């Protein structure tokens, strides 16, 4: 039984048990107006419990922060967790490139979990306040070596990942900048760049060093 079916089964059982209790109250004249209100409350709770928002599987890739599907073979996202490994396998992801720095509370279990599942894993720790050209060149090398493998690029919130992916697509793959920018701005916006000017500078300087101009 999958998550949704199991969730709905538990909800149905809960509803049946509570309705049975309410009928017992009514049968013994212990309900009155209270029973009517109780029925309504039970139905409201059951509707909420069984609604799509509450029955959604929390272990899908779409639940990763700022998840974005760039193409059929390239995904970007924020932090993923061991519980999402099955979803990675279902997506046929063969390579994960993690651009976040090591954090024992957020990504300590990730390398073992994904490699145990047979998924190739690379970590390029990019400092949030100080991304470097060396980081980018190493990322380019890893992306060049993937040879068509379906890849997930991620960090903590998909800001590093989407920025590096944008640069790779324009500089290495020749994707028109205006098209790549749409995927970048699926995660970023002008306000976020204003809050983090180091990233606007990094993108512009990286583009310029490879003979491109951001926004063209």
pLDDT per position as a tens digit, 65-99: 999 999 999 999 999 999 999 999 999 999 999 99
d(CA 26, CA 21): 9
Whether the model clears a pTM of 0.85, i.e. scores above it, the answer is no
How much is the pLDDT for 54?
41
Low-confidence spans in the chain with pLDDT less than 70: 1-58, 214-216
What values do phi and psi take at 70, rounded to 5? -75, -45
CA 203 to chain centre: 23
Pick the closest to residue 72 from 97, 94, 98, 99 (CA basis).
Answer: 94
Residue 44 near residue 38, CB atoms below 8 Å = no
99 C-beta neighbours (distance < 10 Å), count? 26
d(CA 212, CA 170): 9
Token duo for residue 195: 């809050």
Pick the closest to residue 189 from 208, 163, 165, 169 (CA basis).
Answer: 163
d(CA 15, CA 46): 6
How much is the pLDDT for 117?
96
Residue 75 near residue 61, CB atoms below 8 Å = yes
Adjacency order of strands within the sheet including 95-98 = 68-71, 74-77, 151-154, 95-98, 120-123
How much is the pLDDT for 56?
44
How much is the pLDDT for 1?
37
Cα–Cα–Cα angle for 19, 25, 26, nearest 5°?
90
Residue 155 near residue 79, CB atoms below 8 Å = yes
């Amino acid at each position: 039984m999958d998550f949704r079916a199991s969730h709905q089964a538990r909800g149905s059982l809960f509803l049946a048990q509570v309705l049975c209790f309410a009928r017992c109250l009514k049968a013994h004249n212990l309900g009155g107006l209270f029973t009517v209100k109780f029925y309504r409350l039970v139905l409201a709770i059951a509707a909420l419990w069984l609604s799509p928002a509450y029955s959604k599987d929390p272990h899908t890739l779409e639940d990763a922060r700022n998840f974005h599907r760039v193409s059929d073979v390239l995904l970007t996202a924020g932090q993923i967790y061991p519980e999402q490994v099955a979803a990675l396998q279902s997506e046929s992801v063969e390579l994960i490139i993690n651009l976040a720095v090591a954090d024992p509370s957020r990504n300590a279990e990730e390398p073992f979990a994904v490699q145990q599942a047979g998924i190739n894993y690379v970590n390029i720790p990019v400092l949030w306040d100080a991304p470097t050209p060396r980081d980018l060149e190493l990322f380019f090398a890893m992306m060049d070596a993937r040879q068509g493998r379906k890849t997930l690029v991620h960090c903590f919130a998909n800001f590093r990942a989407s920025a590096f992916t944008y640069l790779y697509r324009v500089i290495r793959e020749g994707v028109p900048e205006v098209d790549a920018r749409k995927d970048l701005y699926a995660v970023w916006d002008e306000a976020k760049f204003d809050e983090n000017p180091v990233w606007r500078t990094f993108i512009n300087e990286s583009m310029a060093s490879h003979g491109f101009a951001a926004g063209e």
